[in-house]
Every structure is written in structure tokens, then in C-alpha cells.
Amino acid sequence: MSPTPISKFILEGREFLIKRDDLVDTYLAGNKFRKLYTLLDTPKHQYEKIISYGGTQSNAMLAIAAMCKQKDWEFVYYSKPISSVQKEEKIGNYFLAKSLGMQHIELEHRLYKEFIPSLQLNLDKTSFVIDQGGAINEAKAGLRVLADEIEMQQPQVKSLATPSGTGTTALFLAQNLPHYRVYTTPCVGDEEYLKSQMLSLCDALPENLVILKPKKKYHFAKLYENFYQIYKKTLDAGIEFDLLYAPSMWECLLDQTSEKVLYIHSGGVTGNISMKLRYEKQSNKSDAFF
């Protein structure tokens, strides 16, 4: 595959560069594509089934579904119980993943907690488990490819940025690109939680990794007026970003940095349809919201 392009981007009068990993594919894009790189490179006959678990609006879930479709692998996805409304929706990541052949299994909360850790046990050779959000060691190789592309493209920056869920992307990028500063910010849980997640994938956090503090305590996948406003601002500036992770990262970059930064676009825009519907509902309920 040829390297994804780097675009110029002006936001609030500041110049940024954007690594367009969102352009790889509609469903299998961004850092999920990078994380699944090793599996995508695996011969079809090696596996019959891929198993994963987590939230049912997840970008990782949709990317895995697209990969399994392409590879002709069975895909079984476990989650906690979901609403009947979501089950019937004809838009969003869950609907798309199901259309790509995902088998979805709901587990009661208590059972879920016991069952998930047991997935890795009793596993036969033809099945592979992908931990929540694609936080697997195999992700390292795919992020090495991203790092090599960046080195080759020689963007005129000293800093990169990517928002964190599990922290896999930011960690492996920082490890692979020691000459760049890598900014990130926790979007799921707080800074301590992010660090502990990262430390499950490495022995010590790299020195060039800089964790910026979110402006306030945000809860993942909740609706925030300023998130929507940043989303619109970036869209008006010419590029659509996701509504879950990107807004907080942009807010941190605009408030807490002043140099030119290369932002890694991690995709995830397919999830925006359902998020935007939620924002619309919210704004109808309260005029004060927007």
C-alpha cells in the first residue's frame, strides 16, 4: 500500500498537518487499520474465527468486521446487553458491522466480567482473540509501518498528536519515533488509567510521550457542547474528524501547545451519524445546549 497523504490544515489561524489515515478505507481505516495490519497480512487459512468484545458502537468492532468479511473469517463479538432501539437501528457502527456478517452475543453484566478473561483459555489454533479496542501486541508492527511512512514523508514538524482510548496507538508511535514528541490525551478514563493501560504493553513509558490533561473531566461518549463546536470548526476547515476522541485532542492542542503539529487522523467518522443524531435530539430538548 502506498503511504497515506499528509494534508495542510488551518485551524484558528494555526497551521497543522494531518496524516490522512482516515482515507485508507470506509470501514477499515485509521489506527484500527494499523492495529490490524499483522492480521490483515496473515494468510486466510491460518484462522477460521476472530473473537472480540467491547462496546457496540466501537470503531474497532467495525474495522474487525470489515477485515473478517475480506478474509472470509467468522467474527464473534461479545458485549454487555444493549437496548432494543440500538438493535433495530439502520445506521451506525453496530448496524454496519452486522451487515458485514458480525455475530453478536450479549452477556449479562456479571457473566461478561467472568467470561471475557476466560476467552484466551481453551482457545484452539484456528481462533484468535482481539482484546477490546484492538489493544494487542501485534498492533506494534502496524504502527511501525505508520512510523516508517512518517519518517519517509519528512513532515516539517517536531511534534505529532493522537488521542487515546487504550493508548496503544500513542504508545507504539512514541516508541517507534523517538525523535518526535508525541502528544496524546486520555479520552476513556483518566490519566492514571491511561498510563496503566500503556504499561500493560511496555516496561516504561517513553520520554517523548506527552500526556496532555483534558480541559475538564469528560466521560467517554457523552455529549459536550464544546465537542460539537470543535467538530464543526474542523469540518468547516475542510476535514471531518470523529466526535468521540478528536474534539478533546484538538482542544488540548489549541490550548496547550503552540508549535506546528502533525495530527494522526485515526478515522472513526462512520460513528458520527449516530453521535450527530444524539446531539440533534439533545439540542431539541434544550435550547440552551447550542
Ligand X SMILES: *Cc1c(COP(=O)(O)O)cnc(C)c1O
Binding residues vs ligand X (CB under 6 A): 30-31, 59-60, 133, 163-170, 242, 245, 266-268
- Residue 30 CB, nearest approach to ligand X (Å): 6
How distant is the alpha carbon of residue 185 from its chain centre? 13
Angle at Cα 38 formed by Cα 34 and Cα 42, nearest 5°?
A: 140
Nearer to ligand X, 32 or 181 (CB): 32
- Residue 135 CB, nearest approach to ligand X (Å): 6
Nearer to ligand X, 17 or 146 (CB): 146
Nearer to ligand X, 30 or 206 (CB): 30
- Residue 108 CB, nearest approach to ligand X (Å): 26
Nearer to ligand X, 242 or 251 (CB): 242
Nearer to ligand X, 26 or 46 (CB): 26
- Residue 133 CB, nearest approach to ligand X (Å): 4
- Residue 45 CB, nearest approach to ligand X (Å): 29
Nearer to ligand X, 234 or 266 (CB): 266
- Residue sitting closest to ligand X (CB): 268
- Residue 13 CB, nearest approach to ligand X (Å): 25
